């Protein structure tokens, strides 16, 4: 059994690594192509619209992907009918919440463009790309469901197609229609991703003999109050906090250029957290499965191993981009090298963020979502907004990066305090 767990952990990480490499690599390459076509300032307008779409998508997600991973992993070996009900219920929730997010984007586009971004032409961009919200939300649920089913190999097989389509659609859009064309390409990419993920999830469910047809999902509404609602409320603070901090930046002198530099640096910084995120996603699925089979010994060993491996990989990623980050930023365009100090500060944020995610696994698997909301998410996000408000007028994009680093440092210490002080969690250590 111990060998089986190690084998599943290694194989799941390997396949998830392949999948994420294609997906995140395509996002990075897509951003490089778009940035080279648009330049720093127009790339900044693309980023503020994208940030808005991601914010609305994050709020509308209603934690369906997170909830699907948590409960599908726990029950897939012990109660297949329950898993089918969970999947059907969460699919309906994700579709409804995605539609509401899309409508909100359409209705609020003009107000945001005029009153927040001070660029009325961005209203058309927001409306043209509003469908991105719907398909992003539904794709988030499907990704979580596939992870709960441990379908990482299937994800790895479809990821190259998603990656190639994303680069081709966004690049062609930027070449033909500038920032507007890039956003249309992004929306079309989200549609293709949903189609591929929907096929993959149904294929995995059939392989594991989970009867999606003829089931009713209403009996699983308790998942919302126990898990999804507090997880969603955490998103109600974290996603807007990121967006508000970006808005603070674009409202400064040369704000869109500064956001362009910040966006390029943030793209590279995201590569550092990819590998720890892969490990944590796999660990989340396996930990919840071990919890469902009541194997406490393997649960504790896996939890500790996840923290150790996550920390080692984060340090290696930070060192790599400290050495080569200035050169890599030049791939976006020569002007983007000015963002290297921003990159250095953002790299410092990856250490507390990745460790926080690893330590947080035990909170998530034990369902302590309400303490994570008021004890972790709110202190982190309030501090981010407050520091961004103070630092961006003084230091521009570097000030925003500093605020981001401080916020995640606070989140790490808050998470460690909760893990140490809750008795039901301390026993897992």
Domain membership of residue 149 as a residue range:
2-426
> Cβ(184)–Cβ(34) under 8 Å?
no
Share of the chain above pLDDT 90, in %: 23
For residues 315-322, average pLDDT: 91
Residue 2 banded pLDDT, cuts 50, 70, 90: very low
Higher pLDDT, 244 or 305: 244
Locate 161 and state its tokens.
């197609």
Count how many Cα atoms sit within 13 Å of the Cα of residue 129 in the half-sphere of its side chain: 31
Residue 424 pLDDT grade (very low, low, confident, very high; cuts 50, 70, 90):
very low
pLDDT surpasses 80 at 23: no
Closest C-alpha to 34, from 240, 189, 139: 189
End-to-end CA distance of the chain: 20
Q: How many residues does the chain have?
A: 429
3-state secondary structure of 254: coil
pLDDT at residue 230, rounded to an integer: 65
State the total domains in the chain: 1
Name 354's Cβ contacts closer than 8 Å, sequence gap at least 6: 272, 273, 276, 277, 310, 311, 313, 314
pLDDT in tens, 108-117: 999 988 888 8
For residue 371, is pLDDT > 80? no
- Which letter, b or e, does each residue of 43-75 get, where b requires 16 or more Cβ atoms within 10 Å of its Cβ? bbbbbbbbbbbbbbbbbbbbbbbbbbbbbbbbb
pLDDT at 156: 82
Rounded distance between C-alpha atoms, residue 247 and residue 235, angstroms: 18
389, pLDDT greater than 90: yes
In this predicted model, what pLDDT tens digit does every residue of 175-195 receive, in sequence order? 988 888 999 999 999 999 999
CA angle 306, 356, 348 (to 5 degrees): 110
Residue 216's CB: how many other CB atoms inside 10 A? 10
Q: What is the pLDDT of residue 155?
A: 82
- Per-residue pLDDT band at 229 (split at 50, 70, 90): low
Quote the CA–CA distance of 281 and 287 in Å, as a whole number: 10
346, two tokens = 């953002």
Neighbouring C-alpha atoms within 13 Å toward the C-beta of 185 = 27
| Structure confidence at residue 237 as a pLDDT band (50, 70, 90) | low
User: What is the model's pTM?
Assistant: 0.68
Name the packing angle between helices 229-250 and 2-60 (round to 10°).
60
The chain-wide mean pLDDT, for the chain, equals: 83
């Amino acid at each position: 059994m111990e060998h089986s767990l190690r084998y599943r952990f290694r194989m799941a990480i390997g396949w998830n690594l392949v999948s994420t490499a294609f997906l995140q690599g395509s996002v990075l390459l897509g951003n490089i192509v778009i940035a080279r076509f648009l330049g720093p300032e127009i790339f900044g307008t693309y980023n503020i619209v994208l940030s808005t779409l991601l914010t609305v998508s994050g709020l509308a997600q209603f934690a369906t992907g997170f909830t699907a991973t948590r409960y599908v992993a726990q029950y897939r070996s012990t109660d297949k009918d329950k898993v089918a009900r969970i999947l059907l219920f969460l699919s309906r929730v994700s579709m409804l919440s995605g539609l509401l997010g899309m409508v909100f984007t359409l209705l609020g586009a003009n107000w945001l463009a005029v009153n927040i971004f001070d660029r009325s032409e961005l209203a058309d961009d927001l409306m043209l790309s509003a469908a991105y919200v719907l398909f992003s939300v539904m794709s988030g649920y499907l990704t979580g469901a596939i992870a709960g089913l441990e379908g990482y190999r299937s994800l790895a097989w479809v990821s190259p197609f998603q990656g190639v389509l994303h680069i081709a659609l966004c690049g062609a859009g930027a070449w033909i229609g500038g920032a507007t064309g890039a956003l249309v390409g992004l929306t079309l990419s989200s549609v293709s991703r949903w189609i591929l993920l929907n096929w993959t999830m149904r294929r995995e469910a059939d392989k594991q003999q989970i009867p999606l047809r003829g089931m009713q999902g209403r009996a699983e509404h308790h998942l919302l109050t126990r898990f999804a609602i507090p997880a969603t409320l955490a998103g109600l603070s974290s996603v807007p906090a990121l967006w508000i901090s970006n808005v603070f930046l674009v409202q400064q002198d040369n704000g869109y250029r500064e956001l362009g530099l910040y966006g390029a640096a943030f793209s590279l910084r995201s590569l550092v957290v990819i590998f720890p995120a892969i490990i944590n996603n796999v660990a989340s699925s396996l930990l919840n499965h071990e919890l469902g089979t009541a194997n406490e010994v393997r649960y504790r060993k896996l939890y500790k191993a996840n923290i150790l491996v996550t920390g080692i990989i984060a340090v290696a990623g930070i060192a790599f981009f400290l050495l080569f980050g200035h050169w890599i930023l030049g791939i976006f365009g020569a002007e983007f090298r000015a963002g290297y100090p921003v990159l250095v500060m953002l790299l410092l944020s990856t250490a507390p963020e990745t460790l926080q995610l690893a330590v947080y696994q035990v909170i998530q698997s034990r369902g302590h979502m309400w303490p994570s909301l008021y004890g972790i998410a709110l202190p982190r996000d309030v501090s981010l907004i407050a520091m961004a408000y103070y630092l961006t007028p003084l230091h521009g994009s570097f000030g925003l990066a500093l605020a981001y680093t401080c916020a995640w440092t606070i989140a790490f210490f808050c998470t460690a305090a909760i893990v140490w002080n809750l008795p039901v969690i301390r026993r897992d250590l």
